[in-house]
Amino acid sequence: MKNRPHLALRPLLIAGVLSLSAPAALAADWLLASSRPQVVPGERFEVVVIGEGRSADWPERLAASLELPAGGPRIALELVAIGRPDAAANQRRYFARWPMEVTGVATLALADRPSARLLLDAGTATRVAAPAPVPAASASAVPQTAAAQVALAPMAPVAELPPEAAPVEPSALGFHEPMYFLVGGKDPVSARFQFSFRYRIFDDQGVVAETLPVASGLYFGFTQTSLWDLQSESKPFRDSSFRPSLFYRWAVDDPQRRGSLALSGGYEHESNGKEDMPSRSIDTLFVRAEARLRLDDAGTFLGIAPKAWTYLDREDNPDIARYRGHAELGLRIGRDDALMFSTLIRRGSDGKLGTQYDLSYPLRRSVFSGVGAFVHLQAFKGYGETLLEYDQNKEAQYRIGVSLVR
C-alpha cells in the first residue's frame, strides 16, 4: 500500500486539500482540516471538522472511511470528539487511530458527507513536530474564504488535549491480547492459535458513564489459546485454555507523548473446560501495567508489561504455583509498522521457567480490510505451554504462521 509522495510536496498537502475540497465541503456546510498532514501508522491522529451549524448539533462520534489509492479497499473508521465544540469558530476537534498496515497517502472522508475529504500522508511513519510553512506561490492558490480563515487560525499551533478529554477507545469492542495461528513444533507437530478481545461495558456516552465517569474504564475480556495436534490420525485438540476476565483499565498518560502507561486490575478465571481428571482451572485476582517508551523519531519503542496475581482457587491443580508462580514479565521492542520482537517470561516458586519468544513483521498488503497481518515466528520452551501440561517441561517448540494482533 505504499504510495509515497515526493518529500517537497508534503508541506503542500493542506493547501492542496483546501483548494480542491473546500468548495464542495462548504456547499454541504462541512469541511475537514488538519494542521499536520503526516500521520503515524498505528497511532492517534486528529482532524478538525468545520461547519455552519449550531454547536449543539455536533455529534460525539462521526462515521468515516479511509479511501486508498488505485482503487484500493475502503477502511471504516470512527472519529471520536475531543472536548467541547468551539461555538465561536463553528468547529470541533476529533481523533481516531490510523490502521497500522496503511502507508502512503490516503483520503479521509466522512460517511454521511462524502464531499468533506482530506488527504493524509502515512508515508514517513515519523512524528512531525510542526507543519512546514507553505511557500508564498502556493499560498495564493488557497481560497481565502471566511470559513477557511476562521478555521485555520485556531489550529496553529495544535492545542494540548483539554483536561476533560481523556483518550478513549473509538469502539467498545477492541483487541485484548495477541491473535495468531501458527504451525510447527514436534512430538507431535501441532498448530497453536489464540484469539482475544475486550469489551468496554459502559460506553463513555451512555447514561452510566455520564453519571459516573469512572465506570467507562470497566471491561470484560476473553482469550482462548488452543493447541491442535496435526500429526495424530484423528487430529485432536490437545488442550485449550479459556480465560474470561472482568477488569478495570486506567490510562494515566496520553499515548501521543513520548511515553505512555496504562494500569489494569481485576478478576480472571482460566480453565481447559474438561471434567474429572483432565480438568484444570484457576481463579485469580491480578494487576498489570503496560508501559511504552519511544526510543527515536522513527517510531521504535520499548514496551514493558509486568503482571502479578494471587490465587483464589486452584483445587484442580494445587501445586500450580510451583510452575507458574505469581508473576510474569512481558517485554517488546520494535515498531508498530515494522519488525517487532517480544518475549514473555514466567517463573514458578520452585524456579521452574516458561519462556516464549515472538518475532513478527507486517505484510504490507493485507487481505483483511482494516486489520493488519504479520508474518509471525514463535518459540516456546519450559513449563506451561498448556494448562493441562502445566507441570511438564517441554523442549523448544518452533512455529511459524500469521498474526492479526501482536
371: helix, strand or coil: coil
Q: Which residues of 332-367 are buried (b: 16+ CB within 10 A; e: fewer)?
A: bbbbbbeebebebebbbeeebebbbbbbbebeeebe
Say yes or no to pLDDT of 237 above 60. yes
125 pLDDT exceeds 70?
no
Look at 53-62, 258-267, 336-345 and tell me which has the smallest mean pLDDT. 53-62
Mean pLDDT over each residue of the chain, to the nearest integer: 78
Residue 403 has pLDDT above 50, yes or no: yes
Up-side HSE of residue 53: CA atoms within 13 Å toward CB?
13
Per-residue confidence (pLDDT) for residue 87, from 0 to 100: 65
- What is the structure's pLDDT at 309? 97
Helix (H, G, I), strand (E, B) or coil at 196: strand
Tell me the pLDDT band of 70, cut-offs 50, 70 and 90: low
Alpha-carbon distances, residue 21 vs 40, 65, 105, 155, 160 (angstroms):
23, 16, 16, 18, 27
The predicted pLDDT at position 138 comes to 42
Residue-level pLDDT at 268? 98
Q: In angstroms, what CA-CA distances link 211 with 14, 118, 205, 216, 402?
A: 40, 36, 10, 10, 43
- pLDDT tens for residues 149-204? 333 333 333 334 444 444 444 567 888 999 999 999 988 899 999 999 999 898 76
List, as one string, the DSSP characters of 272-326: ----STT--EEEEEEEEEEEEEE-STT--EEEEEEEEEEEEE-TTSTTTHHHH-S
Is cis: bond before 114, omega within 30 of 0? no
Whether residue 314 is predicted with pLDDT greater than 80 in this model: the reply is yes
Whether 298 has a pLDDT exceeding 50, the answer reads yes
How far, in Å, CA of 105 to CA of 68, rounded? 8
Domain 7-155 has CATH 1.20.1050.10: no
With 0-12 / 13-18 / 19 or more C-beta atoms within 10 angstroms meaning exposed / middle / buried, residue 315 is exposed
Which of 29-38, 218-227, 385-394 has maximum average pLDDT?
218-227
Q: Of 400, 404, 355, which Cα lies nearest the Cα of 376? A: 400
Residue-wise DSSP of 124-189: S-S--SSPPPPPHHHHTTS---HHHHHHHGGGSSPPPPPTT-----SSSEEE-S-EEEEEE-SSS-
Protein fold of 173-405 = Outer membrane phospholipase (ompla); Chain C (2.40.230)
Indicate the range of 13-27, 36-50, 388-402 predicted with least confidence. 13-27
Say if residue 45's pLDDT is above 60.
yes
Domain boundaries, given as residue ranges, for the chain: 7-155, 173-405
Highest mean pLDDT among 209-218, 318-327, 360-369 belongs to 318-327
Say what the pTM is: 0.61
The pLDDT of residue 256: 57
Three cell numbers written together for 274: 474438561
